[in-house]
Amino acid sequence: MNTSLWIAVRALRARRGALLLTVLAVALATATALTVPLVSRQVERGAQDAAQVFDLLVAAPGSPTQALTSSLFYLDAPNGNLPASVYEDLRTSPGTRRAVPIGLGDNHLGFPIVGTSTAFFDQRIKPKDPPYFRVAQGRIFGTEHEVVAGARAAQEAGLRLGSTFKGSHGLEEAEHPEDEATHEGTYRVVGILQPTGGPVDRALLTPIETIWEAHGQVAPASRQVTAVLYTSEQLAGIYTTVQRINAGGKAMAVLPGQVFAQARDVLAQGQAAYAGLSLLVLGIAALTVWLGVHAATLERQRTVALLRALGAGRPTVFGLVLTETLLTVTVGVLLGLGLALLVSGTGGQILGSRLGFILPAPQLTWPLALRAMALIPLGLLAALPPAIGAARLSPLRYL
């Protein structure tokens, strides 16, 4: 360890209180600049992972984002319903690999009861991959009112194989039990899915015929579905289906990738404003560094004068002040990086539990890291005036 670094470390140890405050200010500024972008990226990646098992969502005309959040994430009310004939046409169309009906409208203890078909359990990320949704206990439903419960729904609702319950009308649990409008039929759990980390972990899956019966849609002409998850044999077939569906006017074809891209653009605008705020916070942290260095310079004027008297040149004193600042800011930035990862990881878990799907661990990219590390040259820049003042200090003034 060279002399300047040794003296700088000893000087910082002598000013532990002021050092702690400066490091804390730098760490908080760094964490503030990084936390929101990290969490935003977690949400984006988690949502894309949850939508990767199908190519196209067909829903009632309206908001594409609402169609996706309702029929895929079970977080919103659907745009409306489609005639079941739309599902049948998609299922029997040439080039269709898989068409999966989705029927919503009921819940149990706040967990959505999702009407679908056995084709739901054959969804795969790639054609040769194993099924994405696999049964951990029991079996797939076979008849009406049988239920395959998602892992989280089974755990939190206390459902086991053979458990029975009644469905309640609506997408959310009523605030007061006396207001709950239940259906006549009784559901029985015959299977529990393996955890996937996606929204299906919260779902209670049952044959679509159960939903039709519960809502009095006995006649084929009266039957409706909320949406259809569609996968084509060929990539070109997806775009052909999009054009055909949207041209008909009865339904709306939604490409999840396009919805996520639009959401990313909106997030990018918000993050641009947040980046400006982050620069302001980093500037305030740099000002804090300047105040700390300036106060320390005033405190150690006698020490600096003694160093000058012992033969230390102005460059040595100048370098000493900058070295102290470099150590202080670097420790603060590293602590802030760790704090940002900790906060975004914890916040991601809390947010994921509310959204209904697991968010991946935060990833610190180089652009974000460089944004935080910009505080190091800012801190050194803020330390220049005190460093110059210390270097110009006459040793005769305090000796």
Burial of 88 (0-12, 13-18, 19+ CB in 10 A): middle
Distance (Å, whole) CA 286 – CA 24: 12
First to last CA, the chain: 29
Is position 248 within any domain? yes
Same domain, 187 and 74: yes
Same domain, 158 and 211: yes
How distant, in Å, are the alpha carbons of 48, 71, 170, 289 from that of 76? 18, 8, 11, 47
Report the SS3 class of residue 59.
strand
Is position 259 within any domain? no
Q: In this structure, how many other beta carbons lie within 10 angstroms of the beta carbon of residue 341?
A: 18
Same domain, 315 and 222: no
Tens digit of pLDDT at every position of the chain (399 positions): 455 555 556 555 556 656 777 788 888 888 887 887 887 777 777 677 667 778 899 999 998 889 988 888 888 888 889 999 999 999 999 989 999 999 998 899 889 999 999 999 998 888 788 888 999 999 999 999 999 999 999 999 999 999 999 888 776 655 545 445 566 778 999 999 999 888 899 999 999 999 999 888 888 889 999 999 999 888 888 889 999 998 888 899 988 878 777 766 655 666 666 666 666 777 777 777 777 766 666 556 566 665 555 555 667 667 777 777 788 888 888 988 888 888 888 877 777 666 666 666 788 888 878 877 877 887 788 777 777 776 676 665 555
Same domain, 212 and 333: no
Instruction: List b or e across 263-274, with b for residues whose CB sees 16 or more CB atoms inside 10 angstroms.
Output: beeebeeebeeb
Give the domain range for residue 119. Answer: 56-254
Same domain, 99 and 193: yes
Distance (Å, whole) CA 275 – CA 40: 13
Same domain, 193 and 274: no
Same domain, 246 and 350: no
Is position 375 within any domain? yes
Instruction: List b or e across 160-189, with b for residues whose CB sees 16 or more CB atoms inside 10 angstroms.
Output: eeebebebbeebeeeeeeeeeeebeeebeb
- pLDDT confidence of residue 249: 81
The dihedral over CA atoms of 307, 311, 313, 314, expressed in degrees to the nearest 10, equals 40
Same domain, 209 and 69: yes
- pLDDT confidence of residue 394: 62
Distance (Å, whole) CA 160 – CA 172: 22
Same domain, 371 and 318: yes
Which of 226, 254, 282 is the C-terminal boundary of a domain?
254
- pLDDT confidence of residue 275: 66
Q: In this structure, how many other beta carbons lie within 10 angstroms of the beta carbon of residue 158?
A: 9
Is position 97 within any domain? yes
Report the SS3 class of residue 193.
strand
- pLDDT confidence of residue 356: 62
pTM, two decimals, is 0.73
Burial of 332 (0-12, 13-18, 19+ CB in 10 A): buried
Which of 222, 254, 286 is the C-terminal boundary of a domain?
254
Domain count, the chain: 2
Same domain, 40 and 70: no
Is position 144 within any domain? yes
Is position 16 within any domain? yes
Which of 229, 254, 279 is the C-terminal boundary of a domain?
254
Same domain, 239 and 114: yes
Tokens 């519960």 map to which residue? 214
Report the SS3 class of residue 74.
coil
- pLDDT confidence of residue 269: 62
Same domain, 63 and 189: yes
Distance (Å, whole) CA 60 – CA 64: 9
Is position 384 within any domain? yes
Distance (Å, whole) CA 102 – CA 73: 12
Is position 126 within any domain? yes
